Amino acid sequence: MTRKLIVYPAMAVICLVALFPFFWMIITSLKPDTEIFTVTPQFIPHEPILSRYTELFSGAIPRQFLNSLLVAGATTVVTGLIALLAGYALARFDIPMKRYLLIVILSIQMLPQTVLVIPLFTVLRTTDLLGTYQGLVLSHLALTVGLATYMLRSFFMDIPVSLEESAMVDGASRMKAVRLVVFPLVWPGLAASSIYGFITSWNELMFSATYMQQSSRETLPVALQQFFSSYYSDWGGVMAASVIFTIPVVVFFLLVQKRLMQGMVAGAVKG
């Protein structure tokens, strides 16, 4: 009983700290300026307004939103495909130097982004991909494929080989066995690595700010950072832009959180 007296209040505090910034962002975006700039904070807006959102939607935000969606979507799909193939190969075949390959894949995750940002700029400039969607997607792959492959490999390893074998004994080719028997079971893993790829790409700032700055193809993190530095005192507007920026990831996250947790748990326990 005493345990519960500690655990439940602690959970309440945890939720409060985790959720308050979300709450405050939304509330601030709905308040007129007179209610934002008060010494004693108003937790509930008296006269909520939506004009900040309508203003933003008549500006460049819809375009930037689509840009971000396109880049993050493409990164997610490509990451998923690459990781699915490589994860299967690493789980099922005796590959020479597999141990080292796995170490390399994991250590990609540990690389400082600053090591990649300069040469990738040169690569994109010489290949004319600077400021294009493809260029940014390519740079985001560097951040996503490592962990995604590792996650999917651990999911494949959980699926008994005997399932594929019996399908192959029954006359199916390996491709058919994999497609009909294995892929349906590996869906949770694909969901987990997809959300990971999507969130990484959607939120990424350093590459986006470097490669997309002078472009109508700029993505939301870049736009928001620039909006913030130019409309410094328009806190309501900045908060509304932040809400628009945050909603897709949070929705996506809530939809697949169960799968994501499974993926993370698999990663954590197997190390």
Partner 1 sequence: MTSTTTGRARHTVAPSRAGLRWDRFGLPSLLLAPLLAVVLGVVGYPIVRTVWLSFHEGEYLMTGAFNGVDNYTEIFGDPYFLAALLRTTIFAVVCVVSTLLISLAIALVLDAGSWVARIVTVVVLLPWAMPRVASGIIFKWMFNDQYGIANWLLVSLGFEQFKGYAWFNDGFASLVAITIAVVWHSVPFIAISMLAGLRATRGEVLEAARVDGAGFYQQLLRVRLPMMKPLLVILGVMSTIFAYQSFDHFLVMTTPPGGPSHSTEVLSLLTWLQAFTVLDQGVAAAMAVVTFVLLAAITAIYVKLSKEGA
The contact pattern for partner 1, residues 177-206, with x = CB under 8 A and - = no contact, is: x---------------------x--xx-xx
Burial tier of 151 (Cβ tally within 10 Å: 0-12, 13-18, 19+): buried
As measured in angstroms, the least distance from the Cβ of 59 to partner 1 is 17
Stretch that binds partner 1, among 49-57, 59-67, 104-112, 185-193 (CB under 8 A): 104-112
As measured in angstroms, the least distance from the Cβ of 263 to partner 1 is 11
Q: In 10 A of CB 217, how many CB atoms?
A: 21
**DSSP string computed for 187-202:** HHHHHHHHHHHHHHHH
Q: In 10 A of CB 210, how many CB atoms?
A: 17
Q: Could you give the residue ranges of the DSSP H alpha helices within 93-127? A: 98-108, 113-126
Give the footprint of partner 1 on residues 4-43 (CB under 8 A).
7-8, 10-11, 14-15, 17-19, 21-22, 24-25, 28, 36-41
Is the Cβ of residue 217 or residue 238 nearer to partner 1 in the bound state?
A: 238
Among 63, 174, 176, 179, binds partner 1 (CB under 8 A): 174
Give the footprint of partner 1 on residues 214-253 (CB under 8 A).
220-221, 224-225, 228-229, 232, 235, 238-239, 242, 245-246, 249-250, 252-253
Among 94, 99, 128, 230, binds partner 1 (CB under 8 A): 94
Q: Could you give the residue ranges of the DSSP H alpha helices within 112-219? A: 113-126, 133-158, 161-169, 174-177, 183-203, 206-211
Do the Cβ atoms of 155 and 186 come closer than 8 Å? yes
Is the Cβ of residue 190 or residue 260 nearer to partner 1 in the bound state?
A: 260
Written as six digits, the tokens of 201 are 């790409």
The residue to which tokens 């193809």 are assigned: 217
As measured in angstroms, the least distance from the Cβ of 267 to partner 1 is 8
Q: In 10 A of CB 227, how many CB atoms?
A: 21
Angle, helices 113-126/133-158, rounded to nearest 10 degrees: 130
Q: In 10 A of CB 156, how many CB atoms?
A: 21
As measured in angstroms, the least distance from the Cβ of 44 to partner 1 is 14
Give the footprint of partner 1 on residues 52-91 (CB under 8 A).
81-83, 85-86, 88-90
As measured in angstroms, the least distance from the Cβ of 63 to partner 1 is 18
Residue 45 binding partner 1, by CB under 8 A: no
The residue to which tokens 């694909």 are assigned: 190
As measured in angstroms, the least distance from the Cβ of 50 to partner 1 is 19
Give the footprint of partner 1 on residues 134-173 (CB under 8 A).
138-139, 141-142, 145-146, 149, 161-162, 164-166, 168-169
As measured in angstroms, the least distance from the Cβ of 108 to partner 1 is 6
Written as six digits, the tokens of 7 are 């655990």
Q: How many residues bind partner 1 (CB under 8 A)?
A: 101
